[in-house]
Structure 1
Amino acid sequence: MDATMALKHDPRALLRALFEAAVRRAQPAHVLPAWLPAPPRGRTLVLGAGKASAAMAAVVEAVWPAHRPLDGLVVTRYGHTPPGVGGGRITVVEAAHPVPDQAGWDAAQRMLALTQGLTADDLVLCLISGGGSALLPLPLPGLSLADVQAIGRALLLSGASIDEMNTVRKHLSAIQGGRLAAACAPAKVITLAISDVPGDDPAVIASGPTVPDPTTCAEALAIVQRYGIEVPEVVRVAWRSGQWETPKPGDPRLAGAEVHLIATAWDSLCAAAEVARQAGLAAHLLGDDIEGESRTVGQVHAALARSVARRGQPWAGPCVLLSGGETTVTVRGPAGRGGRATEFLLGCALALQGEPRVWALAADTDGIDGSEDNAGAFVTPDTLARARAVGLQPRAYLEAHDAYSLFAALGDLLVTGPTHTNVNDFRALLVL
């Protein structure tokens, strides 16, 4: 739908148009070809992990010269392989996310095996996107898959930031934290990354398998202690001694490695802002690296939107407020269904208190909010009234971390299916 018509007839349609523009800007087919290097004298090995890796691999296969050597392996989340992709020169494997499984472990072992025998004439093209941390679970010696799964679940429920979670993951892994690039030496390593992390630090994206790691075993130990996460004794011993330290900046095995960010949350927010402006709306970008408790961030966004709607400060309406980043949900006790986006929205709706001029959308750009089937949801001026009219108590759903169920009952979920990219959270508040 044309954005101007959407504004005139359906604020939800406009919000969805903004989200679709953000996702479109981060599509591998749109951003990847310009970053491909020239073929090397030797072989080209493609390795990758993340929710966008299968789509990225498909672009490489389509563009790479048919007469030049090309092979490799990428691993993506179950259901995130685009239709028609697979069976070509690059093998695509699917595995579990956010809690890893045996398929991911097997894929990581195969990936390391493919690096054997590389020479200085070869090129390793690494296709990295969000989700790669869980999709390449190759534990260090002495750890089992069950150990890594238990630590991963505890991290997801702890409220730890993505930087903290990935610091821990890197110091449990035989492939992350720069270890994959080290295994590829002496081949040239070029990483093309789609960023899903606040700040766009390549060492954090997918736990940085091809990037020197500035974090330490001591930091990983401090994080699990801070959040009360139990780890096996073998982990504590290895971390205290520094035995499981990762390759650091200056490591000669990573000296020639290159990393290029080909899509970021900021790029996508700018694309959404342009659609809003074409519809005659001012667009204000609040930031692409907003973190914190999802419900609290929702409350802050609501307070700002109410100020715009009621006082024309700090901006006049009509306008759109856009933001990105990665919020967290700290779960205490049993949890219902939901993810970061829906919890943000329910916190936002409660703080908006039925403000008649404000609509909102929040969604994950990968098309999956947490582990549910929705990308996100919508808030309308009558969200709270409609919920209460059918006997639902919004605050009770928020306290139970069950925002999905409330928005599902109202028919307000945004369901897109996997988008085959991932630049993390997208949030838009429309003030008319």
Structure 2
Amino acid sequence: MTPPELLRHLYNVAVARSHPAVVLPAHLPAPPQGRTVVIGAGKASGAMARALDAAWPADRPLSGIVVTRYGHVPPWASGCVPPLASAHDAASPGEGAPARITVLEAAHPVPDEAGLHATHAIVAALQGLTADDLVIALMSGGGSALLTLPLPGWALFDEQDLHRQLLRCGASITEVNTVRRHLSAIKGGRLAGLCGPAPMLTLAISDVPGDHLEDIASGPTVPDPTTCADTLAVIDRYGLALPAALIQQLRRGELETLKPGDPVFARHSARLIATPQDMLEAAAQAAREAGLQAHILSDRMEGEARDVGKLHAALGLQVARHQQPFKPPCVLLSGGETTVTLDAIAQQTGSGGRCSALMLSAALALQGEPGVWMLAADTDGIDGHSEAAGAFITPDTLARAQALGLDARAMLHAHDSGHFFEALGDRLMPGPTFTNVNDFRAVLIR
């Protein structure tokens, strides 16, 4: 395999290891005496619903509604089986089998009317439950935008404005979700409170650094340890513009979420079924099978995308030039979620996402270093406002860009990394992968 082919292979292995068809069936409980109702939200929720439907006994009651991003509904006949999953690992439905769980689509990363409609439908599905029933919640990254129910006195427009502010301010995902949980009528454990006497099992695919359940889809079905005071601190730190009345409600603690120990969670449990560490370990094993030493740097690297790109480049240079702290040939792997702080101009003219921005910054730092290749891509198949998952860089990236008349530094400054890698033909474009375990990064040194 060429270096880019090897990097693509490692990405494919990481994604396949995290696919719901592979990881979900082993976590399913025995059917209850009564009904089983499935709810969920996130980029992976469609595939999670398909995998659950396929694995659930055909003679046991099953119904429900989940919401996923537009274009992320897998085909019923084949969507449960990822390309690199072996047949004995993956649940696959029978040909032509009817779906028992409805999969709706809505907008991400900013909520829309379809998301509001889907949320109301999910709430309606929880009506009339008994202690003999069971609710299974399927949560994954992206659910914060897809599951949307504005606070009393707020409208969808207000929630859309909040999401836009959070996207461009540069806050970490933990800070962003602290705000989302408190300024929502459905997040921060509130959805769990609608299940009445029925027990609930949350199955979650983590796309957040640290794998905190309250941060996955902003924790609609789990306790929230953060407070209104924490929310106010984030609002002040990033200068978010919110109505004065809402700020006063936060100061009075009127928008507090459900906390650990709340009786609502007495019959609830939650499990992580796929994490960034899982996908990194799978990629590391694949690299070793290809004859390379593999080293996992971290599953939770955060920060501004440009800075994280420079860090990966610096590590690649140290290994390439000094054989420290590892000897080549080897691959360095990391996961996590970076941020990109946008200005008003970039919001209108820029192209790409955090992975392509990280790659362009790394290319500039490497300056064509021989023997170093890199890949950064989002495991959901979509990098920001882009049709690509991410991008590759090679030792000749800057030279080829210069031959095309591209100014790499200017395009990075203009948040236009997407157009940069599109012109080079170095984007990774798998399409929706139907899972989401955050960003995957690999530095190959030969």
Q: TM-score, normalised by structure 2?
A: 0.94
**Is 1:252 matched with 2:263?**
yes
Flag structure 2 segments of 5+ consecutive residues without an equivalent. 80-96
Q: Secondary structure of the equivalent of 1:51?
A: coil
- For residue 352 of structure 1, what is the aligned residue in structure 2? 366
Structure 2 counterparts to residues 193-212 of structure 1, below 5 A: 193-212=204-223
- For residue 418 of structure 1, what is the aligned residue in structure 2? 432
- What do the CA deviations read for 1:82-109 (whole angstroms, capped 9, x no partner)? 1237962111100000001011011111
Q: Secondary structure of the equivalent of 1:239?
A: helix
- For residue 380 of structure 1, what is the aligned residue in structure 2? 394
Q: In the aligned structure 1, how far is the partner of 2:206 from the partner of 2:375?
A: 21
Deviation at 1:408, TM superposition (A): 0.3
Deviation at 1:257, TM superposition (A): 1.0
CA contact (8 A) 1:142 1:234 kept: no
- For residue 220 of structure 1, what is the aligned residue in structure 2? 231
Q: What one-letter code is carried by the residue in structure 2 that aligns with 1:347? A: S
Identify which range, 110-119 or 407-416, moves more after superposition: 110-119
**Is 1:165 matched with 2:176?**
yes
Q: What one-letter code is carried by the residue in structure 1 that aligns with 2:148? A: P
Identify which range, 82-91 or 400-409, moves more after superposition: 82-91
Flag structure 1 segments of 5+ consecutive residues without an equivalent. 1-5
Deviation at 1:185, TM superposition (A): 2.6
Q: In the aligned structure 2, how far is the partner of 1:92 from the partner of 1:328?
A: 30
Q: What one-letter code is carried by the residue in structure 2 that aligns with 1:376? A: G
- For residue 183 of structure 1, what is the aligned residue in structure 2? 194
Q: What one-letter code is carried by the residue in structure 1 that aligns with 2:29? A: P
**Is 1:79 matched with 2:90?**
no
Q: In the aligned structure 2, how far is the partner of 1:145 from the partner of 1:35?
A: 35
- For residue 414 of structure 2, what is the aligned residue in structure 1? 400
- For residue 281 of structure 2, what is the aligned residue in structure 1? 270
CA contact (8 A) 1:185 1:254 kept: no
- What do the CA deviations read for 1:202-232 (whole angstroms, capped 9, x no partner)? 1110001111111111211221111011012
- What do the CA deviations read for 1:413-432 (whole angstroms, capped 9, x no partner)? 11010000000000001000
- For residue 47 of structure 1, what is the aligned residue in structure 2? 39
Deviation at 1:390, TM superposition (A): 1.2
Q: In the aligned structure 1, how far is the partner of 2:245 from the partner of 2:116?
A: 20
Identify which range, 233-242 or 295-304, moves more after superposition: 233-242
- For residue 58 of structure 2, what is the aligned residue in structure 1? 66
- For residue 317 of structure 2, what is the aligned residue in structure 1? 306
Deviation at 1:244, TM superposition (A): 1.3
Q: In the aligned structure 1, how far is the partner of 2:193 from the partner of 2:98?
A: 28
Q: In the aligned structure 1, how far is the partner of 2:433 from the partner of 2:269?
A: 27
**Is 1:337 matched with 2:351?**
yes
Identify which range, 96-105 or 79-88, moves more after superposition: 79-88
| Alignment equivalent of 2:133, drawn from 108, 122, 126 | 122
- For residue 26 of structure 1, what is the aligned residue in structure 2? 18
Deviation at 1:140, TM superposition (A): 1.1
Q: In the aligned structure 1, how far is the partner of 2:100 from the partner of 2:254?
A: 38
Q: Secondary structure of the equivalent of 2:299?
A: strand
Q: What one-letter code is carried by the residue in structure 2 that aligns with 1:397? A: M
Q: TM-score, normalised by structure 1?
A: 0.97
Q: 1:165 to 1:87 in 2, by over 3 A?
A: farther
Q: Secondary structure of the equivalent of 2:165?
A: helix
- For residue 92 of structure 2, what is the aligned residue in structure 1? none
Q: In the aligned structure 2, how far is the partner of 1:234 from the partner of 1:404?
A: 40
- What do the CA deviations read for 1:251-301 (whole angstroms, capped 9, x no partner)? 101122111100000000010001110111000100000000001000011
Q: In the aligned structure 1, how far is the partner of 2:379 from the partner of 2:398?
A: 26
Q: What one-letter code is carried by the residue in structure 2 that aligns with 1:370? A: G
**Is 1:232 matched with 2:246?**
no
Q: What one-letter code is carried by the residue in structure 2 that aligns with 1:64? A: W
Q: In the aligned structure 1, how far is the partner of 2:98 from the partner of 2:444?
A: 44
- For residue 87 of structure 2, what is the aligned residue in structure 1? none
Q: Secondary structure of the equivalent of 1:203?
A: helix
Q: What one-letter code is carried by the residue in structure 2 that aligns with 1:323? A: S
Q: In the aligned structure 2, how far is the partner of 1:241 from the partner of 1:326?
A: 33
Q: In the aligned structure 1, how far is the partner of 2:232 from the partner of 2:117?
A: 27
Q: What one-letter code is carried by the residue in structure 1 that aligns with 2:248? A: V
Q: Secondary structure of the equivalent of 2:309?
A: helix
CA contact (8 A) 1:186 1:253 kept: no
Identify which range, 76-85 or 204-213, moves more after superposition: 76-85
Q: Secondary structure of the equivalent of 1:290?
A: coil
- For residue 101 of structure 1, what is the aligned residue in structure 2? 112
Q: In the aligned structure 1, how far is the partner of 2:245 from the partner of 2:384?
A: 31
Q: In the aligned structure 1, how far is the partner of 2:436 from the partner of 2:407?
A: 33
- For residue 11 of structure 1, what is the aligned residue in structure 2? 3
Q: Secondary structure of the equivalent of 2:110?
A: coil
Structure 2 counterparts to residues 143-158 of structure 1, below 5 A: 143-158=154-169
Q: In the aligned structure 2, how far is the partner of 1:65 from the partner of 1:386?
A: 55
- What do the CA deviations read for 1:54-87 (whole angstroms, capped 9, x no partner)? 1010111111111111110000000000123796
**Is 1:391 matched with 2:391?**
no
Q: What one-letter code is carried by the residue in structure 2 that aligns with 1:354? A: G
Deviation at 1:33, TM superposition (A): 0.5
Q: Secondary structure of the equivalent of 1:303?
A: helix
Deviation at 1:120, TM superposition (A): 1.1
- For residue 327 of structure 1, what is the aligned residue in structure 2? 338
Q: What one-letter code is carried by the residue in structure 1 that aligns with 2:30? A: A
Q: In the aligned structure 1, how far is the partner of 2:115 from the partner of 2:98?
A: 19
Q: Report how many residues are paired.
A: 424
Deviation at 1:117, TM superposition (A): 1.6
- For residue 37 of structure 1, what is the aligned residue in structure 2? 29
Pairwise CA RMSD: 1.0
